[in-house]
Chains A and B, each alone.
Chain A
Amino acid sequence: MARARTGVRALGAVLAAVLGASLAGCSSTGGKRAEDARKAQSAAGKAAVTTPRWTFAMVTHSGDGDTFWDIVQNGAEQAAVKDNINFLYSHSDEGQQQAQLVQAAIDKKVNGLIVSLAKPDAMKDVIAKAEKAGIPVITVNSGSEQSKAYGALTHIGQDETIAGEAVGDELDRRGKKKALCVLHEQGNVGHEQRCAGAKKTFGGQMQNLYVDGTNMPDVQASIEAKLQADRSIDSVVTLGAPFADAAVQARKTAESEAEVDTFDLNAKVATALTAGTLGFAVDQQPYLQGYEAVDLLWLYKYNADVLGGGRPVLTGPQIITKNDAAELQQYTERGTR
């Protein structure tokens, strides 16, 4: 034991030394200090209304650590601050568990529910229960077809097929002939719809490539392999922002001329668009999905307003090219675009 203690003490000493060294070994470029310098002091969040403090719960099908859903959550939280809402968030990528989380929210007697319908069948019963309990429901992101039938007030999101079609059109406009659609989650219905939509409007030929989204070097190697196997591919479309960068590196190694385009946006994509290493990005504005969901629930509670007239309210697709990217960069860095 004594020896173990000495070991811990030694480790502590080393850590302290490193911490000390880190103060000396500062980087004069980049990092948090640069960010702080850049960032203008924004006013602290404060409610803009005097309505009662209602509780809204949002339950999504997001996996752990998903960039996209993080932005949705940011939007919802900021709207909640403004609308004086107590906002609860939970998520699970398993349909059954997501339904249980919704049930828990109903048990808690929340005043409003925001749900994504990636696995609509699993959510059907529990949404009916919410309705019976008198809780208004707004669906976001996926599930535009089921939303109305299940009794939700409004659906806010992007139609994946329409988004895909926009990509096909844009590829045509750029004169592409052979495209690759990179899917990073096998069996995700939304992903399949995006590629199918793109295939529908694209005049050229389009192939699907499945990669393992949790293993970035492997994503890169797979795209690399595909570009080497088929030299005539002139555009690569990734379905998530983090994979665009892997595709760019794969193109470099495979010495391919293909243009890389992507769904979704993040700070790196915005930078790459500005630099011209990416062709275009298709944004469905996740911030808007979270923000509008909370805001519309508040409007319903306060003023019985409903938006969309029973039809989904679309937040995308918005095609972002080099011209728009520079302006969006600062927003991607703070995590709202």
Chain B
Amino acid sequence: MSATAPPATPDSTPAKTDERLLRTSPLRKLLGRPELGSVVGAVAVFLFFSIIAESFLRASSLSTVLYAASTLGIMAVPVALLMIGGEFDLSAGVLVTSSALISSMFSYQMTANVWVGVLVSLLVTLAVGVFNGFMLTRTKLPSFIITLGTFLMLTGLNLGFTKLISGTVSTKSIADMEGFESAKKLFASQLTLGDVTLKVTILWWFVLVALATWILLRTRFGNWIFAVGGGADAARAVGVPVNKTKIGLYMGVAFAAWISGQHLLFSFDVVQSGEGVGNELTYIIAAVIGGCLITGGYGSAIGSAVGAFIFGMTSKGIVYAEWNPDWFKFFLGAMLLLATLLNAWVRKRAEASK
């Protein structure tokens, strides 16, 4: 297995192949992928829980793990793209709740068809994304500050508006309203195959990962994302519309938050206004485990999916193993560190042998 020396041709001409061509060897290509470290980690976690927990390998259990991973993964995809573009979004977790609250309360208060609320929610959620991106590019403040501000404002708005409009801290049930059933089909239905129940969020997740991968690797916008995250000034110098790209990335996060929010609403039909706080970090953790660099310019959408899958396996694997859950957060933290170290190590090896 020597990747460095390709099988020598018998006549062995002195002029060897150009060294740059070596990069195309499949192994090299694989080593250069950002998600490699996390895939190795995912396999390790999977094997670990398969051995430790007897109920982990059942098909029904795996569908539960997939569901847990998908609700996180849907958000991890655009968050990963945003991180590749060099920015953060701390408001993503609460925006999910906002999006669910808006649909629910708009439909209820207007006694409108549920779909109208869903649409209004999409517009408002996207507007929050635009606000984040616009503030960021206008003020040149770090995204950490901007989105922290949005996070706090949204948290307050969620509670304030819900209380003002509904009189309580949760929304009223909209399950008996027109359009609810069809919207539920789109956002919160499930498919039963034998004893396996697959939630529609898994499909949403896969579609988003595929879409994001296509954007990243096959479109001009994808190149812009990498360029903007690698060095905004250099990118601007060669004509990349840096501001537009960043605003677009924040809108991507907002769009996914809308999907997650609608799932939240239509699977429980009542939304608690205080939810979502803290989830933004979970999305970032999934993206980082999946190989995204916090400094931007490097990462992948598939990596974020693998990261979300690791997260889902760990959080539910501990339950299947019937361990004492007091230690869950410690385990997760250790996993995050290990995955990031493994990523860094794999990448260094890959770059050193180029």
A binding-site residues for B, Cβ under 8 Å? 4, 11, 14-15, 18, 21-23, 25-35, 63-67, 70-71, 186, 208-210, 212, 214-218, 220-222, 224-226, 228-230, 242, 245-246, 249, 253-255, 266-268, 271, 333-335
Interface locus among B168-176, B227-235, B293-301, B344-352: B168-176
Contacts of B276 in A (CB 8 A): 214-215
Residue B262 interfacial (CB < 8 Å): no
- Beta-carbon contact of A11 and B127 below 8 Å: yes
Residue B32 interfacial (CB < 8 Å): no
B window 302-322: CB within 8 A of A: 312, 315-316, 319-320, 322
**In-complex Cβ contact of B64 among A63, A225, A335 (8 A):** A225
| 23 contacting pairs across A/B (C-beta < 8 A) | A4-B134, A14-B123, A15-B120, A18-B123, A29-B176, A29-B178, A30-B108, A30-B176, A31-B108, A31-B177, A64-B155, A64-B277, A65-B158, A65-B273, A66-B169, A67-B272, A70-B163, A212-B278, A214-B278, A217-B263, A217-B264, A218-B72, A267-B270
- Beta-carbon contact of B111 and A31 below 8 Å: yes
**In-complex Cβ contact of A225 among B162, B163, B190, B319 (8 A):** B319
- Beta-carbon contact of B322 and A229 below 8 Å: yes
Contacts of B60 in A (CB 8 A): 228, 254-255
- Beta-carbon contact of A31 and B112 below 8 Å: yes
- Beta-carbon contact of B162 and A32 below 8 Å: no
User: Quick one: given A217-B263, A253-B197, are A27 and B325 in contact (CB under 8 Å)?
Assistant: no
- Beta-carbon contact of B110 and A32 below 8 Å: yes
Docked pose: A209 CA to B325 CA in angstroms:
7
User: Quick one: given A65-B162, A210-B325, are A22 and B275 in contact (CB under 8 Å)?
Assistant: no
B binding-site residues for A, Cβ under 8 Å? 53, 55, 58, 60-61, 64-65, 67-68, 71-72, 106-117, 119-120, 123, 127, 134, 155, 158-159, 162-163, 167-170, 172-179, 190, 195, 197, 201, 263-264, 267-268, 270, 272-279, 282, 312, 315-316, 319-320, 322, 325-326, 328
- Beta-carbon contact of B67 and A214 below 8 Å: no
Contacts of A70 in B (CB 8 A): 163, 168-169
User: Quick one: given A29-B176, A31-B110, A67-B170, are A214 and B277 in contact (CB under 8 Å)?
Assistant: yes
Contacts of B55 in A (CB 8 A): 228-229
User: Quick one: given A64-B274, A217-B263, A217-B264, are A15 and B167 in contact (CB under 8 Å)?
Assistant: no
User: Quick one: given A27-B178, A215-B279, are A22 and B169 in contact (CB under 8 Å)?
Assistant: no
Please name the residue on chain B nearest to A70 by beta carbon.
Answer: B169
- Beta-carbon contact of B173 and A230 below 8 Å: no
Contacts of A221 in B (CB 8 A): 64-65, 67-68, 71, 312, 315-316
CB distance from B108 to the nearest CB of A (A): 5
Closest 4 CB pairs of A and B: A65-B274, A31-B111, A221-B68, A30-B177
- Beta-carbon contact of A186 and B326 below 8 Å: yes
Please name the residue on chain B nearest to A246 by beta carbon.
Answer: B268
- Beta-carbon contact of B315 and A218 below 8 Å: yes
Please name the residue on chain B nearest to A245 by beta carbon.
Answer: B268
Extra A-B contacts (18), CB below 8 Å, given A18-B123, A23-B110, A67-B170:
A15-B120, A18-B116, A22-B112, A27-B107, A27-B179, A30-B176, A31-B111, A65-B273, A70-B163, A209-B319, A214-B274, A214-B277, A215-B282, A221-B64, A221-B65, A228-B60, A245-B270, A253-B64
CB distance from A6 to the nearest CB of B (A): 13
User: Quick one: given A214-B278, A268-B173, are A65 and B315 in contact (CB under 8 Å)?
Assistant: no
Most central of A34, A215, A333, A334 by chain B CB within 10 Å:
A215
Most central of B71, B111, B195, B278 by chain A CB within 10 Å:
B111
- Beta-carbon contact of B172 and A267 below 8 Å: yes
- Beta-carbon contact of B178 and A28 below 8 Å: yes
Contacts of B116 in A (CB 8 A): 18, 21-22, 25
CB distance from A168 to the nearest CB of B (A): 22
